[in-house]
Amino acid sequence: MNVFSAFDGMSCGRIALDKVGLTVDNYYSSEIKDYAIKVANNNYPQDQKNRLGDITTIKGSDLPTIDLFIGGSPCQDFSGANKNRLGVEGSKSRLFYEYLRLKNETKPKYFLLENVKMGEDHQNIISKELGCEPIKINSVDFSPQNRNRLYWTNIPLVTPKHYNIGLNDILEYGWWNDKYKRKERGRPEKNKARCLLESDSRPSTRPIKMFHRYFTTGFTTLIFKSEKHYLDCANHYIENFKGLKARPENGQKYGEIDQKILDFNIDLSVYEGVRYLTPQEREDCQTVPRGYTKGLTDNQISCILGDGWTIDVIAHIFKGLK
């Protein structure tokens, strides 16, 4: 089987194909992030000669017959986390059209496109171009992570199995539970991590800012030393900082939180010991083999895993090729 992977990242598609036991004769790919290419080369050196760089420079006529064409075009302009999203006309997400161009030029037997949940108007544009409606799969059924994604494909689908793997099952140390946060919103408790995001590669390393982001947005997963540690942090935050903004505004030197800390010399020792997920825990959330991202910085690991695919979801889809 000849495979082409657009926006290949760290070669998640290759991992999934191996996991299913499908034979790959040639794995061609496009990717421009040097550290993602480094990880892919470390784990699949045999594919190095077929890493072709920027997708905009690749022509279908230069490739052999492609049996499987896969990819996940950049999602930033589709994501609900981006208030200024422009959909397929955005500077990054318009790269979908490069996926479409090369797919049409290579005429593969099978294809797969992954992307985030998006507005119906943008979803309909992609569906019309690809000639099929997406299926919705949440990684929560395959991993310790909540990750809703859309998959456009002509691969015959098999019935999924549901695996009850929780975040606490893969923690290296510490305590986590979302029962308090979900109770505030009137939602049932879940033992799953928040969706890993590329933006996790740019988090604050100050414990108070880490807790502020977790407590106010829920866009990250934060681990505590114990349940008591979480409650102590929550009570301290509510008493001192609830409703305050972290970022400076209107030419201010400090945000409201930092200004209050300075003005009142507030003791922040209660937040010591809060942490983000470790590299191993992030790999487990994406069902990536442990140690696969070895050799990268913590920020680089967060970035490529946040950009990547949940391997067991893709492997499940690829079972339809057998």
Distance between CA atoms of residues 261 and 165, nearest Å: 40
pLDDT tens track for 186-217: 555 567 888 887 777 666 779 999 999 888 88
Entry pTM = 0.89
Shared domain for 78 and 25, answered yes or no, is yes
Shared domain for 134 and 217, answered yes or no, is no
Q: In this structure, which long-range contacts are made by residues 127-130, counting pairs with CB atoms below 8 Å and at least 24 apart in sequence? A: 127/152, 129/96, 129/100, 130/100
CATH number at residue 63: 3.40.50.150
Distance between CA atoms of residues 13 and 1, nearest Å: 13
- Inside any domain, residue 283: no
Over 90: is that where the pLDDT of 149 sits?
A: yes
Distance between CA atoms of residues 23 and 60, nearest Å: 22
Distance between CA atoms of residues 183 and 34, nearest Å: 42
pLDDT-derived band at 34, boundaries 50, 70, 90: very high
pLDDT more than 90, % of the chain? 73
Shared domain for 24 and 41, answered yes or no, is yes
Shared domain for 99 and 186, answered yes or no, is no
Shared domain for 177 and 147, answered yes or no, is no
- Inside any domain, residue 301: no
Q: Residue 82: its pLDDT value, please?
A: 45
Q: What is the mean pLDDT of residues 288-316?
A: 95
Distance between CA atoms of residues 27 and 47, nearest Å: 6
Shared domain for 24 and 124, answered yes or no, is yes
pLDDT tens track for 86-139: 455 654 557 899 999 999 999 999 999 999 888 888 899 999 999 999 999 999
Is the model more confident about 76 or about 200? 200
Shared domain for 149 and 208, answered yes or no, is no
DSSP calls for 289-301: PTTTTTTS-HHHH
Count Cβ atoms below 10 Å from residue 259 Cβ, excluding itself: 15
Over 90: is that where the pLDDT of 11 sits?
A: yes
- The number of folded domains in the chain is 2
Shared domain for 29 and 147, answered yes or no, is yes
Distance between CA atoms of residues 73 and 175, nearest Å: 35
| Range of the structural domain that residue 203 is part of | 167-271
